[in-house]
Every structure is written in structure tokens, then in C-alpha cells.
Structure 1
Amino acid sequence: MESTKKHTWRSKLHEIIYEADTPSGKLFDVILLIAILASIVLVMLESVKSFDLKYHGFLDISEWIITILFTIEYIARIAVVKKPLKYITSFYGIIDLLSTIPKYISLFLAGTHALVALRALRLLRVFRILKLARYLGASNQLANAIKASRAKIAVFLFAVLIASIIFGTIMYLVEGEENGFTNIPKSVYWCIVTLTTVGFGDIAPQTPLGQFIATFIMILGYGIIAVPTGIVSAEYTKASGSDVKKLSDEEIKSLDSVHLNTQCCVNCLAEQHQDGSKYCYKCGCELNHE
């Protein structure tokens, strides 16, 4: 009886903390995101010296309250899973830890308090609340397209680097030290800034020949921007087309009827289970439907 109560308590807490499809789980995640945003705002306000001098006590106390709440939440997350180490070493587990410890470290090392801004990474949990996880398949396709394009992009970047070195050297010879091009590395820096159409304006050519070369580099920059986009787009289209060809008409139609939820396996922390699933697709552990 005692173990059943314990199991129910852990299951209920697991449902609240790790799932966003239930009212309690959604409320927990919304409150968590509000606390994260509040913490980030507090850190930003603390960096404003005039505001910090006036409200330092309030900012410090507020930050400690949020830090303690995050500490309790982190411990609770560890307590309700069957394999705590799995959570601790997971992506979200590491982020949760990194967003909690800076305030404690600031007690011993000055200047580390600003690291609590790492809590912004915890806002990634908004994907669970808004149920955007189902669209991660499209992001995986994009990642695969970039991966397939890496050789072409590497050759392209190498060519741009060579062009920057050549044009930078030419500008050093044409403009000289008197016009701000004091050395070749600085001239190459100017060329890269101009080629990427950033244009800081800290160095500018003064001679007619130098201005002509700069004009050519600027126009070239607009053409260069389109190249990696075209390479990745071509690979993305190719990958999307091949994936669709592999599926039958019935399989394509069935994709629209599949609905995923945020139910989290208590054993392996896997998410994105199909609605109505009784067992985890990854480890086979029975899912909590309480």
C-alpha cells in the first residue's frame, strides 16, 4: 500500500514536470517559462548600474528566490525518473544545471553572477508547450541538407577566403598606411567586412583606384551571399523529393493522421509518443496514463 502511494505520488509529479499535454503539466511549464523570463530581466536590470544602485537589495532577493525554486525543480526532476543519471547527462539536464549553479558560484567567485543569463536556453522548453516538436522533422531535413552540402560550402568558403586575401593585399598596396590600411591582415579584415556587405566604415579607401576596387568587391559580395543559399536549397529539395518517393500514397496520407504528444517516458525520458500509446517506442517501458 505504501509503495503504491509512493508510485502514485511520483507518477503524478512526473506528469506535472515532464508532460505538457495535461492541464497541470501545461500550467507548470508556463509558470516555469515566466520565472525564466523574470530571472533574465532581473539580470539585465542588474547590469544597469543606476538601477542596481537603487534596487540592489530587491534584485538580489528576487534572484535568490528564483534560484531556490529552480534548485527545487531540478531536484524534483531527478527524483521522479527511474534513471536520474539519464536526465542529468541529457541536453535539458545540463542546461537546467548550468542555469541553477551560477548564483551559488557567485558567492565564491565575483563576476560570475551574469552567467544566470544562460537560463535563456531553458526557453527551448516552449517547443513542448506549443507542440512544435512535431515540426522538428522538417528541421532535421534542413540539418541533413546542410550536412550534405558541407563539402561544397567548404570549397566555397575557401575560395572566398583566398579572394579576401588577394583583394586585401591589393588594397594594402593601392591605399597604403596613410589611408588606414596599415598592414595586410587589417586590409584582409576590411575586405571580408566589405565582401559580406557588413561595412563597419572604420576603414575606407581614399584613392580613385581603391574606391573602384571597393565597388567591385561590394557588388561581388551580393552575388556571394546567394551561393551557399542555393547550394543548401538544392540539397534540401533533393532530400525532400527522395523521401517522398520512398513512401507510398497510403503512407503519405497516414502521416497526416499521426498525432504526437509530449508524454515523457519515466524510464528513458523519450518524448513525442503517438496518442494512445501504452508503451515507450524507445525502451518499451509502460507509459504513465494516470
Structure 2
Amino acid sequence: MDTDRSLRQRLQATVLEANTPAGKAYNAVIFGSILLSVLALLLEPDPLGNSALRQTNVLWIDLVQNLCLAVFAADFVLHLALVQKPRRYLFSFTGLIDASAVLFFFVPQVRSELLLWVFKFGRILRVFKLLKFIDEARVLVRALRGSARTIGVFLFFVFLLQVVLGYSIFVIESARPDSQFQTVASGVYWAIVTMTTVGYGDVVPQTELGRLLASVVMMLGFGIIAIPTGILTVSGVRHHKLRGVELTCSSCGRQGHRKDALHCDVCGASLPSRA
């Protein structure tokens, strides 16, 4: 019994803890496997499973994919076995990404056209496993989470502004017989393209008043693009100051909690003592 408990503790220190020597080595293996898997996906001549191209598949790509599948499957099973609450881990963001990294390897076995396209797209989700190894990614996620309400209100205001501007350009330009603004929707589309400074040029105002409005929309675009950046920066700085020693949740495996945190950001389990 003591031997089993000791083995479990050693495995937890390796798989769940990022600060131990064994944990760092384990993470290095997972990190390298992710990079190899993505590289193989980029170089695969038949990423969509077309039978005509399947014959030209390079042997080493299949070997790398199978090796990465074995590593990801072992990592997923170990996490399920070692965390205190496997169900919470399974339905957390980290758990879903880990599961998808294994599940989406079996795209060729899917026969439903709809599911096949979903699985084909899902194969690229393995890239998100890299986020577990980037501390700044966790800071960005916390910044987005902390400023979600503010950004949501801002985006709703922008949406209302786009509708007003789209309707305005439609009213201004619709009097011309050769107007490209046949509906309010086309006006809203133009407002979005113009405000984001994309400027496709497929729909353009012809009247002087319409061009004046276009100039105003372009100038508004600079400020509107900058505002979310400022919101995220302030939130990111605030969360960065709260970061302390890296704590790992033994329930779901989430790492990098702020220094004043008592519970996991993902599953709510109690965090280990910092003493």
C-alpha cells in the first residue's frame, strides 16, 4: 500500500508538477511531441483524407503521427488517473484539448460527412496544447476573463454604431440610381469593413456626403481598435502583479495560479499550501 502511494506521489510530481526536475523533463517530452505532431500535420500531403492522395503519404509522417498519438494518449490517461477529480479535469479547457489531441487522430475512421469535417478541423486543435507551457498565455487568458464584461459592453456599443453608420450611408447613397448600397445590410457591411481599416473597395460611396461620412468612419476606426488593447493591457498588468509562485491544482492539473488564490480557477478545488 505504501509502495503504491509512493509511486502515485512520484507520478503526480512528474505529470502534474512543472517545477520538479522530473516534471520539467516530462513537459519537455510533451512539448516536443506537440511540435512534431504539428510539423507532421503541416507536411502531410493528404491532411483531408483524400484517397487519391493517400498513396503518396510519406512513411515518416505516419510514424511520427502514431508516436505522438501514443504520447498524447499516455499523457491523457495519466492525467485522468492522477488528478483527484477526473470528471472536472475531463471537462476543463485543458482536459478537452488533451482529449481532442487523441480523438482527432482517428479522422480516417469517421464516415459521417458532417462529423468528418468537424474532426478534420479539430485536428489542428492539438496546437492549443502548447498554451500549457506558455506562462504569458495564462496571463492573457486571465486578462480576457477579467475584462470580458467591459469588452462585451464595448463591442455591443460598436455593433450599435455600425448599424447607425450602415443605415446612414444607405440613406445618403440610395438616392443615386447606380448606388452600390441596395440594402441596409450592405451599408452595415461597408461600415464594418471601413471602420476596421480593411477597405476591400467592393462597395464605395459615390456622393460627397457619403465620402465625408467614410472619412469620419475611418478616423473612428483608429480609436475603436485601440480601446480593447488598452482594456486588455490594464487587466493584464493587474493580473501580472498578482502572480506568485506557480501552484498546480491536484484535481484538474491547472498550473500558474495567482499568489492570493485559494481555489483552482478551473475546477474550484482547494490549492496546496504555499508555506
TM-score between the two structures when normalised by the length of structure 2: 0.72
Q: Equivalent residues in 2 for 1:201-216 (5 A)?
A: 201-206=201-206, 210-216=210-216
Alpha-carbon distance in 1 for matches of 2:258, 2:206: 65
Partner SS state of residue 187, structure 1: helix
Aligned partner of 1:104 in structure 2 is: 106
Deviations 1:109-155 (A, max 9, x none): 3553442110111111113xx5x59x84x964664345256446534
CA contact (8 A) 1:171 1:187 kept: no
Q: Taking structure 1 as reference, are residues 87 and 283 closer, same or farther at Cα in structure 2, changes over 3 Å only? A: closer
Matched, 1:190 2:183: no
Aligned partner of 2:28 in structure 1 is: 30
Aligned partner of 2:156 in structure 1 is: 154
Q: Taking structure 1 as reference, are residues 169 and 36 closer, same or farther at Cα in structure 2, changes over 3 Å only? A: farther
Deviations 1:61-115 (A, max 9, x none): 3212211221121111112233322322222111111221011243123553442
Aligned partner of 1:260 in structure 2 is: 245
Deviations 1:235-283 (A, max 9, x none): 96xx96xx9xxxxxxxxxxx89x94134442x564655799xxx99976
Alignment gaps of 5+ in structure 1: 244-254
Cα offset, 1:25, TM superposition: 0.5
Aligned partner of 1:246 in structure 2 is: none
CA contact (8 A) 1:260 1:272 kept: yes
Aligned partner of 1:60 in structure 2 is: 62
Cα offset, 1:20, TM superposition: 0.8
Q: Taking structure 1 as reference, are residues 57 and 83 closer, same or farther at Cα in structure 2, changes over 3 Å only? A: same
- Greater shift, 32-41 or 12-21, is seen at 32-41
Identity %: 25
Matched, 1:121 2:128: yes
CA contact (8 A) 2:173 2:207 kept: no
Which AA in structure 2 matches 1:126? F
CA contact (8 A) 1:21 1:262 kept: no
Q: Taking structure 1 as reference, are residues 18 and 150 closer, same or farther at Cα in structure 2, changes over 3 Å only? A: same
Cα offset, 1:169, TM superposition: 3.8
Q: Taking structure 1 as reference, are residues 184 and 97 closer, same or farther at Cα in structure 2, changes over 3 Å only? A: same
Alpha-carbon distance in 2 for matches of 1:101, 1:90: 16
CA contact (8 A) 1:35 1:66 kept: yes
Cα offset, 1:185, TM superposition: 2.2
Picking from 69, 76, 83, the partner of 1:81 is 83
Matched, 1:199 2:206: no
Coordinate RMSD, CA, aligned: 4.1
Partner SS state of residue 197, structure 2: coil
Cα offset, 1:215, TM superposition: 3.1
Which AA in structure 2 matches 1:30? A
Q: Taking structure 1 as reference, are residues 11 and 173 closer, same or farther at Cα in structure 2, changes over 3 Å only? A: farther
Alpha-carbon distance in 2 for matches of 1:17, 1:199: 49
Picking from 156, 168, 171, the partner of 2:170 is 168
Picking from 3, 6, 24, the partner of 1:5 is 3
Cα offset, 1:48, TM superposition: 7.2
CA contact (8 A) 1:262 1:272 kept: yes
* Larger Rg computed on CA atoms: 1
Alpha-carbon distance in 1 for matches of 2:224, 2:233: 16
Which AA in structure 2 matches 1:102? F
Which AA in structure 2 matches 1:204? V
Alpha-carbon distance in 2 for matches of 1:280, 1:191: 45
CA contact (8 A) 1:168 1:190 kept: no
